[in-house]
Amino acid sequence: MANLGFIGLGIMGAPMAGHLQAGGHKLYLHDIKNPPANLIDGGATVCTSAAEVAKRADIIFLMVPDTPHVEEALFADNGVAAGLTAGKIVVDMSSISPIATKEFAKKINKKSCAYLDAPVSGGEVGAKAASLTIMVGGPAEAFDTVKPLFEMMGKNITLVGGNGDGQTTKVANQIIVALNIQAVAEALLFASKAGADPAKVREALMGGFASSRILEVHGERMVKRAFNPGFRIQLHQKDLNLALQGAKQLGVSLPNTANTQELMNACAANGLSGLDHSALCQAIELMSNHKIAQG
């Protein structure tokens, strides 16, 4: 049994922490809200600050919304860094800036502690089912130590490289997912407007070079008009913002990512940002005055 810290117990963090507790570990929790009752009933200790979590736990997980929240949890006056002693491991499972992550890791390393960036994909469903994909950056030794804990929360767990590379992989994932959704949307909208049955076109394309997980899952949602989340457009906007801000900082041109972010902005302008990201198709549907299929 290890002493584990968990900071950020929202719709992702709460079930993830639950899997660690179910695995027999002692939890030290901190959140801006009261941590879930089931974790406390299960024996978790609620800490009044992130620093206290870092004092009492040996491995400290973070699962918060964005880069500034990680920075505050780590480096505010009563943050994780203030409570660390040598040999502990900080594991940030939030999806945040890869560039900021490298700085955070260096500052944690100065406390003689290891840092892993380990963002996930799979959403609330994957968090509850312990089937998250986990993309990790950091030193191999720390990865090996934490791996049995990752395996309680996810299934497809890869050490991609050094610190930041986990977050970079997550950004790359979100670029591809967004652009593949837009690809399927443009193809099916063209097909529908040309008079073909988009469901049959999708089926005909499934075996060939156009095949993708997005054509399979999100293509079906577009055809069936099943836009309940899933993964909300507003969260994908945040992820593409990480891509585009990162691109500006790094000096990379991402023209279709930028264009697709604008189409997500168009969805938001039309009140659609709470829908599943497959509803990205509605931007060009509005622009074209035609729907892929009737709901």
Q: Where in 195-214 is the site for a copy of itself (CB under 8 A)?
A: 195-197, 200-201, 203-205, 207-214
Judge if the upstream peptide bond of residue 230 is cis by omega within 30 degrees of 0: yes
Residue located via tokens 């870092």: 54
- Under the binding rule (CB under 8 A), the answer on residue 288 touching a copy of itself is yes
Catalytic residue selected from 55, 111, 170, 193: 170
CA pair distance 239, 260, nearest whole angstrom: 12
Alpha carbon of residue 65 to chain centroid: 9
| Residue of 164, 161, 171, 61 whose CA lies nearest to 103 | 164
Where does 41-125 show beta strands of DSSP type E?
45-46, 59-62, 89-92, 114-117, 120-121
Q: Which residue among 51, 54, 246, 273 contacts a copy of itself (CB under 8 A)?
A: 246
Residue placing its CB nearer to a copy of itself in the complex, 54 or 240: 240
Measured from the CB atom, is 49 or 278 closer to a copy of itself? Answer: 278
| Shortest Å, Cβ 258 to a copy of itself | 9
Catalytic annotation present for 170: yes
Q: Give, as ranges, the residues between 73 and 132 that touch a copy of itself (CB under 8 A).
A: 98-99, 121-122
Crossing angle for the helix pair 198-205 and 213-224, nearest 10 degrees? 170
138-197 residues in contact with a copy of itself (CB under 8 A) are 156, 158, 160-162, 164-165, 168-169, 171-173, 175-180, 182-184, 186-191, 193-197
Residues involved in catalysis: 170
